[in-house]
Structure 1
């Protein structure tokens, strides 16, 4: 999905499908501004980030990333036959995502982290809130609002991850095999956002669902930032 970051504040009012792109762009602009204030990302931008900061970031992200495919699969199971296209898209997406945490684990080990410690780690406060919200929403009948969650999460991969990877390499002198998880998501999530855009504007989404998509995007954007703010807590 094309993201216009010139919009400065998310619209919380209704507006339906007609202005869905503008409303989602506003959510993204707010997310972008909040990300700039996250300590680890601010240190990355300023060039003061450390290898320990990067290791902590991967450790904390892994605990949420491993949940990605399961909540999407759960959502797929709750679409009825009248929402067959959304069910099919969710099943495909879950299949594509279910090995992502393994890439992150390899990066973590490549920078000197312990795989055993990583796999026995727990979610931080923001990750707990984010995963809890996503699984709860996925249990709803026909949870099409989760397209808003995908807008945020896949948008971060497509529009931010590769830039973060490049900056970590520049500041810390990392090799490609130490930032592969972030590099990979620029292309993979770019494909996902294109598929999602096709669904959003295919006529499958009505005004009420558009409102749900925007609201879900707002919540997930805020909780994703909380996850990055609450490293190790």
Structure 2
């Protein structure tokens, strides 16, 4: 990463002159293709999803969600003073995220699930891979590439979570307090996405960092879809 005066690579990159946001947009389209093949989301789309499907989804998501603020906090601790803006943003983000799993737990219990069983659960193979990658990346010096991870994860909250919640309510007749985790993230992650895009377009990102951001987004997009594919495994 460089100062804003030394590069304009947030606008023009080595990838054929495409902007960083355009490159990340291509990664998002790849993610959408993967999500369209996830069985539980296919059942949600066609209206055959069951309450058991929704409980399984929450159960599996919780095991990864609880790690979210932890890898962000680790990333914050590894930014040096030359990356103060990213360190400050990561600290703020970790503080905002660290209670999210309580919202998910409340939904699960409101559906009749056991909080004790939820907390005793383990990550599925996709969640293991996703969390392992994120913690390893966050342990690097100045892990600015994690902006790509946040682009994917926060983007899912901002763009898809409320849609999924509305569809679960439509098909299963759920109350608002049974889908609060997903509906909350439309607003919260929408704000996070706006903050992140301001950084991505600020001129602070050099070509090498832009490549790292895109690569991280690619990996996280694939692993996030994998955790949805591998429910309970």
Whether TM-score is above 0.5 comes out as yes
Give, in angstroms, the shift of residue 18 of structure 1.
5.3
* Alignment partners' CA distance in 2, 1:128 and 1:28: 22
User: Once the two structures are superposed, what CA deviation does each residue of 1:123-164 show, in whole Å capped at 9, x if it has no partner?
Assistant: 000000000000000000000000000000000000000000
Which residue number corresponds to residue 39 of structure 1?
A: 39
Give, in angstroms, the shift of residue 21 of structure 1.
1.3
Give, in angstroms, the shift of residue 185 of structure 1.
0.3
Which residue number corresponds to residue 96 of structure 1?
A: 96
Which residue number corresponds to residue 218 of structure 2?
A: 218
Give, in angstroms, the shift of residue 33 of structure 1.
1.1
TM-score (norm 1): 0.93
* Alignment partners' CA distance in 2, 1:17 and 1:66: 38
User: Once the two structures are superposed, what CA deviation does each residue of 1:173-211 show, in whole Å capped at 9, x if it has no partner?
Assistant: 000000000000000000000000011111111010000
Structure 1 pair 14–166 and aligned structure 2 pair: CA distance change class (3 A): same
Which residue number corresponds to residue 204 of structure 2?
A: 204
Whose relative contact order is higher, 1 or 2, with alpha carbons under 8 Å and at least 6 apart?
Answer: 2
* SS state at 2:231 partner: coil
* Alignment partners' CA distance in 2, 1:201 and 1:22: 11
Which residue number corresponds to residue 188 of structure 2?
A: 188
Which residue number corresponds to residue 153 of structure 1?
A: 153
Alignment of 1:106-185 (within 5 A): 106-185=106-185
* Alignment partners' CA distance in 2, 1:203 and 1:46: 43
Contact 1:17 1:207 in 2 (8 A): no
Contact 2:75 2:142 in 1 (8 A): yes
Gaps of 5+ in 2: 1-12
Give, in angstroms, the shift of residue 15 of structure 1.
2.3
* SS state at 2:210 partner: helix
* Pair 1:30 & 2:30 matched: yes
Structure 1 vs Structure 2 CA RMSD: 1.2
Which residue number corresponds to residue 58 of structure 2?
A: 58
* Alignment partners' CA distance in 1, 2:51 and 2:157: 21
Give, in angstroms, the shift of residue 38 of structure 1.
0.2
* SS state at 2:187 partner: helix
Which residue number corresponds to residue 69 of structure 1?
A: 69
User: Once the two structures are superposed, what CA deviation does each residue of 1:95-119 show, in whole Å capped at 9, x if it has no partner?
Assistant: 0000000000000000010000000
TM-score (norm 2): 0.93
Q: What is the number of residues matched between the two proteins? A: 221
